[in-house]
Chains A and B, each alone.
Chain A
Amino acid sequence: MGSSRSSALDALGQQIEAGVISRRQFVVRALALGLSATAAGTLLAACGGGSSNSGGGSSGKALTGTVQILVGYFGTGNQPAQAQVQEALATAYTQLHPGVKIEFLRIPSSSDAKTKLVALSAAGAPPDLVMPTGIYGTSLFLDEEIWLNLEDLLKRDGLTLDPYSPVTAVATHQPNYYGTSATGVVGLPVGVNDHALAYNPALFAQAGLPMPPTSWTDASWSYEGAFLTAAKALTLDGRGRHPGDAGFEPATVKQFGLGHFFRETLFFAFGGKYYDPGTKKATMASPGGIAGLQFASDLVNVHYVQPSRTVAASLGAGGGQGDEEQFLWKNGQLAMIDMGTSDISSYGKGAPFDFALAPMPAGPARRFSFLNLDVGCVVKASKNTDLAWEVLKYFSLEPDAAKRLAYDSYNEIPALKQNTDVFTSGVRSSLPKADPKVWIDGFEFAGADNEAWFPAFAEVNTLVGKAFDTIVDGRPAASVMPQLQATAQTEIDKWFGSHKLPS
């Protein structure tokens, strides 16, 4: 009896040291084993419990209650295999904290999830956590004060964002809202859908082109230089002629140099910026922004290296839902595409060729790729914020749980620095020609510029989307962008008329 109690106490000691049970649970279980309260407290101190980073109840309160997590809000996570991992993690957490129940509220489409979040919040019954949430998703409602600023909780628990890749930590600060002192934290990072340029090596070889570099600092790989040259050489009309050749027929192009590529990438790489927090002005019509959008339009309408929306729809198989180009890529009709890590399961797998990876080309102003960070957010109106925070810490900071959630469930690069290896080894084993280092190295050039909050975020983004559509359809960027900037400014001014930034 004595030895079994001793081994049980040893096990408890190991659990508290590993941070898998809370101090409270330790004491409760130690008392249940017949220890006096004083002895349990002494043992607890000896084990050093209470400094857990991982949702072990660092506040010292008993962890009991139910945490509801909304899944599907501007992120990923509702595929059966993804849900299975999340359920397993929830079960594991409940085993560590038997008083806690984790429920998932799964909404298949992000727009419906948004409606659900608004409706539940307005009804006074919001979910406790929303995850994964893209930075764009956090921006949509940031000024509606729907998210809890995690700054105080981090301070209270003696935590910092240092364990995360720096670029992910920066993105969580939302400086246009919380201020440039970078103290506000909208959510804890979980995973990154980092972007790079994927290409079909066989098409490059057929065109007699050198393979693109793998280094993000190779200056020769620029949009207006080697990239455009390659895109033209990789574009073929029905008679095998390239853009610029005599008799080239744009209407009969059967192979495009580029596809599934986003005009926003070019806007930022050429020096575009949506908003200047210093002057509170919309800044879309800067020379760089105009040049970037015009280049995006020229790729389609002048160089004919990228299919237009309608051509992609007519050639593809997506039903007008934006995944037409996946068909073209897999069919060998697109030589280069923008590929985020979460595209691996769709664009990456099932293609009859092994794709390779290159960095995003350099623009005149900078090299830019989408960061697409997913975070976990605590809902401010939750009646259970402390418990939600504990669960969020487990999912985001407890290394094993965070690894499984980010990579196994969301198919993303884990935001925890110590977990990036799982992505590297996973890609190496499943995608022989794709060097995962290209994605990882891209962190340094990645930004959430396209997702970061600014005033009247939803309204202005709608205007931006429409204006960019118009330009890519053929209207000159120089005439559209100033108009866009003026209307965006009206919305921004209206926002400042009815809102205030947090002090």
Chain B
Amino acid sequence: MVRQSQAAKLSGGRRDPLRRRNQLVAWGFLSPWALGFVLFVLGPMVLSLVVSFTDYPILRPAQTRFVGLENYETAWNDDLLRHSLAVTLLYTAIAVPADLVVGLVLALIMNVRARGVAVFRTVFFLPIMISGTGGASVAVALLWAFVFQPRFGLLNAVLRFVNLPPQLWVASTKQVVPSLALMSLWSVGRSMLVYLAGLQALPGEVMLAAQVDGASSWRRFWQITLPLLTPMVLFNLILGLIGALQTFTQAYVITQGGPRDASLFYLIYLYRNAFTYLDMGYASAMAWILFALTLALTLLIFRTARKWVFYAAEPPER
């Protein structure tokens, strides 16, 4: 309260014409985005929430009827939905930690002061430029379909080269999810870049002091570098989690949910309900269930983050 009145005093009060003009200018600059957000994000979200309580046959909209929580009840009893959720969570459990670890390792390697390292940083980041949201565009997915090809694919060529048996990869019900998780490393450059920024912002004097005190490289990494990087880990974790839960393109292009529904990701099943069965009400309910799940997991991570994320200004909670 005191702060607010001080701020008001400093700015000359609400009627300050300069302040008003600044606000108008700010809103002027913001309005294209704000308008776009309302029209293309918030509006459809609200609409989909409404639709989730209806039976909405999209091609016969006149026959739309309110069904209350029926779609959510159906979802609760839908075995295939549970299966698709399990597939998605399995993928998330593999892909997100892999991205965190590989991204960090790459960032540590790319953080060395060596000639030509900028070229490698660029090379590792380049795949991001042709990846869509969620880490895969159609072009990338098609490329990986050939990488996974059992007879002539690149991965099996490597395995044969080192005398290991070739695998079925995405053609196997057991290997398809790990294979797609492996593919997700295509966009590891994104997390690498975030870590790299964190590494370059580390306080040099702290590292130097530890070195002078005789701390080994491993100890310096484990007790100084990693704790100081935890905000970046949190950032990558949240982004990775949200992206993994929304996995669609790679499975849609490469496997269409197969073989035998082994890669039936949540969004593939949602899409199938929306555009194959034209059950938009149920698909909308599924979208809101995913939103709730994503929100819950994100809040959970934020809550636990107090225990493991270290911000330089304050020590981690004990």
Partners in one complex: yes
Interface residues in chain A, defined as those with a beta carbon under 8 Å from any beta carbon in chain B: 111, 114-115, 118, 121-122, 140-141, 144-146, 309-310, 313-321, 327, 458-459, 462, 466, 469-470, 473, 498
Residues in chain A near residue B146, CB distance under 8 A: 319
* Contact between chains at A310 and B168 (CB < 8 Å): yes
Interface residues in chain B, defined as those with a beta carbon under 8 Å from any beta carbon in chain A: 55, 57-61, 145-146, 148-153, 166, 168-172, 254-256, 259-261, 272, 275-278
Least CB distance from A462 to B in Å reads: 8
Least CB distance from A453 to B in Å reads: 15
Query: Which of B145, B166, B259, B272 contacts A314 (CB under 8 A)?
Result: B166
* Contact between chains at A314 and B57 (CB < 8 Å): no
Query: Which of A118, A310, A320, A466 contacts B278 (CB under 8 A)?
Result: A118
Contact A320/B59 with A118-B275, A118-B278, A458-B276 known, Cβ cut-off 8 Å: no
Query: What are the 6 A-B residue pairs with the smallest beta carbon separation, nearest first?
Result: A313-B171, A320-B171, A319-B149, A144-B59, A122-B58, A115-B275
* Contact between chains at B149 and A314 (CB < 8 Å): no
Bound complex: CA A440 to CA B47 (Å): 53
Residues in chain A near residue B277, CB distance under 8 A: 458-459
Bound complex: CA A293 to CA B133 (Å): 42
Residues in chain B near residue A316, CB distance under 8 A: 150-151
Contact A320/B151 with A310-B168, A473-B260 known, Cβ cut-off 8 Å: no
* Contact between chains at A144 and B168 (CB < 8 Å): no
Least CB distance from A5 to B in Å reads: 53
Bound complex: CA A149 to CA B68 (Å): 35
Residues in chain B near residue A144, CB distance under 8 A: 57, 59-60, 278
* Contact between chains at A317 and B151 (CB < 8 Å): yes
A144 to B, closest residue via Cβ: B59
* Contact between chains at A313 and B150 (CB < 8 Å): yes
Determine which residue in B60, B61, B261, B275 has the highest number of CB atoms from chain A within 10 A of its CB, and name it. Answer: B275
Bound complex: CA A482 to CA B171 (Å): 28
The contact sample of 13 A-B pairs, CB cut-off 8 A, is A111-B256, A118-B275, A121-B59, A122-B58, A313-B150, A314-B171, A317-B152, A319-B148, A319-B153, A320-B259, A458-B276, A462-B272, A466-B260
* Contact between chains at B59 and A145 (CB < 8 Å): yes
Residues in chain A near residue B152, CB distance under 8 A: 317
Bound complex: CA A459 to CA B166 (Å): 36
Least CB distance from A166 to B in Å reads: 32
Residues in chain A near residue B275, CB distance under 8 A: 111, 114-115, 118
Residues in chain A near residue B59, CB distance under 8 A: 118, 121-122, 141, 144-146
* Contact between chains at B172 and A310 (CB < 8 Å): yes
Least CB distance from B275 to A in Å reads: 5
Least CB distance from B159 to A in Å reads: 13
Residues in chain A near residue B272, CB distance under 8 A: 462
Least CB distance from A33 to B in Å reads: 48
Residues in chain A near residue B169, CB distance under 8 A: 320
Least CB distance from A141 to B in Å reads: 7
Bound complex: CA A140 to CA B277 (Å): 9
* Contact between chains at B151 and A314 (CB < 8 Å): yes
Bound complex: CA A327 to CA B152 (Å): 11
Least CB distance from B10 to A in Å reads: 51
Contact A315/B276 with A118-B59, A121-B59, A320-B171 known, Cβ cut-off 8 Å: no
Residues in chain B near residue A321, CB distance under 8 A: 145
Query: Which of A115, A121, A146, A315 contacts B151 (CB under 8 A)?
Result: A315
Residues in chain A near residue B151, CB distance under 8 A: 314-317, 327
Residues in chain B near residue A317, CB distance under 8 A: 149, 151-152
Bound complex: CA A144 to CA B149 (Å): 39
A109 to B, closest residue via Cβ: B253
Query: Which of A114, A314, A320, A469 contacts B276 (CB under 8 A)?
Result: A114
Residues in chain A near residue B276, CB distance under 8 A: 114, 140, 458, 462
Bound complex: CA A141 to CA B58 (Å): 11
Residues in chain B near residue A111, CB distance under 8 A: 256, 275
Bound complex: CA A17 to CA B150 (Å): 60
* Contact between chains at A320 and B148 (CB < 8 Å): yes
Bound complex: CA A236 to CA B152 (Å): 23
* Contact between chains at B171 and A118 (CB < 8 Å): no
Bound complex: CA A105 to CA B254 (Å): 24
Contact A309/B259 with A122-B58, A314-B168, A317-B151 known, Cβ cut-off 8 Å: yes
Residues in chain B near residue A314, CB distance under 8 A: 150-151, 166, 168, 171
Least CB distance from B50 to A in Å reads: 16
B152 to A, closest residue via Cβ: A317
* Contact between chains at A320 and B58 (CB < 8 Å): no
Least CB distance from B117 to A in Å reads: 36
